[in-house]
């Protein structure tokens, strides 16, 4: 590798041919090829990667090149003539062979001219991909329906459509020794915290790996180093409006080529419980929706442990709530019922992801009607267990962030087990430990439970209520924005 990095484009076109044959396997790999042209009695080679370039553009360029034979005669000025005739806005001259190879494999065409120690690289890329489509995971009733795609260039375009600011910075880096994946860092220069931008840039530059085929997830793991902590430390979004809203707030958005999910940093727990839909409705409705969602998330976490506590010690129940708890003990301990039912729901969830749509209706029928009904009749589960497990499952589906809902599920199982062992004491102690652990987490130097612990009144109000936009004059302090105001202070 060391050697090849020093190789320069040779004046002798034969040497270049040999290099290409040896290094990228022209003639072996079927999708790489070259076309020989003779222009003013000199040989010109055009190298291409069939899958990734736009043939119509190449044909157009070749027409212009061949035309040179008819209208020009000055052989000595051939390189300049050719450069002029490359009718495309993105033409660069490249000296190093390794860069030539990199560009060729990204889908650009490379043109060698006999007698010239440089190569022309023309950006005629056209990547296979889909058009912008509303992301499945973040649907809204009203509002824009475009979503990020797998193409990083399209993604920057979608963001630029929303932020035409001259101060928007879009820095690109390459990650992966072999995959050479493009990673792009987006931020507002005069708002985002310099320290944060530098920190992220450093972390990305320090990634040394052969390839990042799982794109943004792999990059995230290098970035936040969360180990076995299940709680998500960055927020993902596939919606350009959400990403630009965060850019305005002073967040840094990371996009990785081949993935439609953008990474938003830094994030706290409460970033994961908000949803674009709330900002598409009036503040009152948005607040209502948000509180309903909070209740759902709350239920997905605490309902089962709390109910189990009351089942184990009915004396805890205050007057008027004595009806809670089973009328007759089942055949299996309640804890086991809860855990079994919960695992059952987990089966269903996983199966629903992999099952093709025609089969999933049948699957839902079997799962819901047969298992639910019959498990009770057989005496495996108590009806109340099914009710609370279902409620908590629905609550977890109402969590806007998929990552958070899974992490909450794990915490719930932990709490259920602690309650089963220690009862009410276990619930309180378990909750305390859970809260303290969450509060001690830091994602890119941002406390995870901000604005709750450490407390910040303004931030907390914006979490608890969907505040109307004209009233939110200041940016939240969590990103340490360099410019505090979104609207001129009155």
* Tokens 């220690």 sit on residue: 422
Q: Which helix (H) or strand (E) holds 113?
A: strand 109-113
* Tokens 């995870």 sit on residue: 448
Based on CB atoms, which residue is closest to another protein, 276 or 439?
Answer: 439
- Of the residues 131, 318, 356, 358, which one makes contact with another protein according to CB under 8 A: 318
HSE at residue 294, side-chain half, CA atoms within 13 A, is 14
From the DSSP assignment, how many helices (H) and strands (E) are in the chain? 18, 12
Q: Does 347 bind another protein (CB under 8 A)?
A: no
- Of the residues 317, 380, 444, 464, which one makes contact with another protein according to CB under 8 A: 317
- Of the residues 137, 287, 360, 484, which one makes contact with another protein according to CB under 8 A: 484
Q: Using CA atoms, how far apart are residues 480 and 190, in angstroms rounded to an integer?
A: 12
**Max CA distance (Å), the chain:** 103
Based on CB atoms, which residue is closest to another protein, 291 or 347?
Answer: 291
> Which residue from 122, 34, 43, 42 is spatially nearest to 84, judged by alpha carbons?
122
Q: Does 320 bind another protein (CB under 8 A)?
A: no
Based on CB atoms, which residue is closest to another protein, 344 or 447?
Answer: 447
Q: Does 428 bind another protein (CB under 8 A)?
A: yes
Q: Could you tell me the smallest distance in angstroms from the CB atom of residue 198 to another protein?
A: 13
- Of the residues 397, 425, 471, 487, which one makes contact with another protein according to CB under 8 A: 425
Based on CB atoms, which residue is closest to another protein, 114 or 249?
Answer: 249
CB atoms within 10 A of CB 487: 11
CB atoms within 10 A of CB 301: 23
Q: Stretches 245-253, 297-305, 311-319, 364-372: which one binds another protein (CB under 8 A)?
A: 311-319
Q: Does 197 bind another protein (CB under 8 A)?
A: no
- Of the residues 376, 453, 464, 467, which one makes contact with another protein according to CB under 8 A: 453
Q: Could you tell me the smallest distance in angstroms from the CB atom of residue 453 to another protein?
A: 5
Q: Are the CB atoms for 136 and 232 separated by under 8 Å?
A: no
400 φ/ψ angles, rounded to the nearest 5 degrees: -65, -35
Q: Which helix (H) or strand (E) holds 414?
A: helix 402-422
Q: Stretches 32-40, 86-94, 396-404, 435-443: which one binds another protein (CB under 8 A)?
A: 435-443
Q: Could you tell me the smallest distance in angstroms from the CB atom of residue 434 to another protein?
A: 11
Q: Could you tell me the smallest distance in angstroms from the CB atom of residue 465 to another protein?
A: 15
Q: Does 461 bind another protein (CB under 8 A)?
A: no
Q: Could you tell me the smallest distance in angstroms from the CB atom of residue 472 to another protein?
A: 16
Q: Could you tell me the smallest distance in angstroms from the CB atom of residue 415 to another protein?
A: 13
Q: Stretches 48-56, 129-137, 240-248, 439-447: which one binds another protein (CB under 8 A)?
A: 439-447
Q: What share of the chain is helix, strand, coil (3-state, %, to 5)?
A: 50, 15, 35
* Tokens 């809203």 sit on residue: 245
Q: Could you tell me the smallest distance in angstroms from the CB atom of residue 484 to another protein?
A: 5
Q: Does 303 bind another protein (CB under 8 A)?
A: no
Cα angle, residue 47 at apex, residues 44 and 49 outer, rounded to 5°? 165
CB atoms within 10 A of CB 202: 9
Q: Does 12 bind another protein (CB under 8 A)?
A: no
* Tokens 């859970």 sit on residue: 434
Based on CB atoms, which residue is closest to another protein, 68 or 478?
Answer: 478
Q: Using CA atoms, how far apart are residues 421 and 330, in angstroms rounded to an integer?
A: 19
How many residues line the site for another protein (CB under 8 A)?
26
- Of the residues 454, 468, 469, 471, which one makes contact with another protein according to CB under 8 A: 454
Q: Could you tell me the smallest distance in angstroms from the CB atom of residue 473 to another protein?
A: 10
Helix axes 424-440, 304-312, angle to 10 degrees: 160
- Of the residues 436, 461, 469, 471, which one makes contact with another protein according to CB under 8 A: 436
> Which residue from 226, 216, 223 is spatially nearest to 263, judged by alpha carbons?
216
- Helix (H/G/I), strand (E/B), else coil: 149: coil
> Which residue from 334, 301, 300, 316 is spatially nearest to 424, judged by alpha carbons?
316
- Of the residues 62, 173, 276, 424, which one makes contact with another protein according to CB under 8 A: 424
> Which residue from 54, 44, 9, 49 is spatially nearest to 30, judged by alpha carbons?
49
Based on CB atoms, which residue is closest to another protein, 87 or 436?
Answer: 436
Q: Could you tell me the smallest distance in angstroms from the CB atom of residue 447 to another protein?
A: 7
Q: Could you tell me the smallest distance in angstroms from the CB atom of residue 475 to another protein?
A: 11
Q: Which DSSP letter does residue 89 get?
A: S
Q: Which positions lie near another protein, rule CB under 8 A?
A: 315-318, 423-425, 427-429, 431-432, 435-436, 439-440, 447, 453-457, 477, 480, 484, 489
């Amino acid at each position: 590798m060391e050697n090849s990095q020093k190789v320069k484009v040779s004046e002798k076109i034969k040497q270049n041919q040999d290099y290409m044959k040896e290094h990228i396997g022209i003639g072996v790999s079927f999708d790489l090829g070259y076309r020989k042209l003779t222009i003013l009695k000199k040989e010109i080679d055009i190298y291409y990667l069939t899958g990734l370039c736009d043939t119509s553009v190449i044909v157009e360029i070749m027409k212009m090149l061949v035309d040179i034979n008819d209208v020009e005669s000055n052989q000595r000025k051939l390189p300049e003539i050719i450069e002029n005739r490359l009718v495309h806005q993105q033409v660069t001259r490249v000296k190093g062979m390794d860069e030539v190879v990199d560009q060729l494999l990204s889908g650009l065409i490379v043109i060698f001219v006999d007698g010239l120690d440089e190569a022309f690289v023309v950006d005629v890329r056209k990547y296979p991909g889909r058009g912008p489509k509303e992301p499945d995971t973040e649907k809204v009733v009203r509002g824009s329906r475009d979503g990020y795609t797998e193409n990083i260039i399209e993604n920057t375009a979608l963001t630029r459509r929303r932020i035409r600011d001259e101060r928007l910075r879009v820095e690109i880096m390459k990650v992966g020794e072999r995959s050479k994946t493009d990673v792009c860092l987006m931020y507002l220069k005069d708002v985002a915290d310099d320290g944060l931008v530098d920190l992220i840039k450093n972390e990305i530059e320090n990634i040394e790996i052969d390839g990042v085929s799982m794109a943004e997830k792999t990059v995230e793991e290098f970035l936040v180093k969360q180990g076995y902590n299940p709680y998500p430390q960055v927020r993902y979004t596939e919606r350009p409006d959400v990403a630009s809203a965060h850019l305005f707030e002073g967040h840094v958005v990371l996009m990785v080529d081949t993935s439609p999910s953008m990474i938003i940093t830094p994030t706290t727990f409460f970033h994961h419980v908000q949803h674009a839909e709330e900002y598409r409705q009036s503040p009152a409705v948005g607040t209502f929706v948000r509180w309903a969602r909070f209740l759902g998330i709350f239920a997905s976490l605490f309902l089962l442990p709390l109910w189990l506590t009351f089942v184990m010690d009915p004396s805890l129940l205050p007057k008027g709530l004595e009806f809670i708890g089973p009328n007759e003990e089942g055949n299996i301990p309640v804890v086991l019922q809860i855990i079994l039912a919960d695992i059952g729901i987990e089966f269903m969830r996983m199966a629903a992801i992999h099952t093709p749509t025609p089969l999933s209706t049948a699957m839902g029928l079997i799962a819901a009607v047969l298992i639910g009904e019959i498990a009770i009749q057989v005496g495996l589960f108590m009806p109340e267990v099914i009710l609370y497990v279902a409620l908590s499952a629905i609550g977890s589906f109402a969590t806007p962030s998929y990552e958070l809902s899974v992490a909450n599920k794990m915490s719930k199982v932990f709490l259920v087990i602690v309650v089963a062992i220690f009862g009410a004491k276990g619930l309180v102690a378990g909750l305390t430990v859970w809260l303290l652990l969450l509060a001690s987490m830091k994602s890119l130097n941002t406390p995870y439970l901000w604005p709750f612990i450490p407390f910040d009144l303004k931030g907390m109000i914006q979490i608890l209520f969907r505040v109307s936009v004209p009233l939110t004059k200041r940016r939240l302090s969590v990103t340490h924005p360099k410019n505090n105001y979104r609207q001129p202070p009155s």
